[in-house]
Amino acid sequence: MTEHVWTYRPTSGHLAGADLTGYKVEATDGDIGKVDKHSHEAGDAYLVVDTGVWIFGKEVLLPASTVIRIDADEEKVYVDGTREQIRNAPEFHRDTHLGDVDYREALGTYYYTAGGPLGRRPA
């Protein structure tokens, strides 16, 4: 099951109720955009990132467990994954995918399986 991917890591520095809207988002190899929407509900936490011109103005949905660290002073969120890995994630459409259980399961499987990081998902 992939439920754990929708929870912030205890070491991320996330504070319940903190507003991350507008924070810059950094992959392991560079900037991917800004937080447009986020949820910090237990077991249902995520970031919707506006990628701007990076991938043609699309949005990506990142499960909370991808967040490595939040720097409130710099207003940056650091995520576990490369720009390419994030670009290759299942395509996200806010209007249809935010509440779609099948999409969230597919996305959770893409980002994490059995608690392992991105690079260890099965082929």
Q: CA-CA distance, 31 to 29, in Å (whole number)?
A: 7
Helix-, strand-, coil-residue percentages of the chain, each rounded to 5: 25, 30, 45
Cα distance between residue 115 and residue 25, in whole Å: 22
pTM, two decimal places:
0.84
Domain boundaries, the chain: 3-120
> What pLDDT is attached to residue 112?
72
What pLDDT score does 119 carry? 41
CATH class, 3-120 region: mainly beta
Tens digits of per-residue pLDDT, 84-122? 888 888 888 888 888 888 888 888 888 875 344 444 433
- For the residues 20-35, what does the mean pLDDT come to? 95
User: What distance in Å separates the CA atoms of residue 41 and residue 82, rounded to the nearest whole number?
Assistant: 25
Residue given tokens 């701007």 in the structure block: 52
Instruction: Report which secondary-structure segment, H or E, holds 39.
Output: strand 30-41
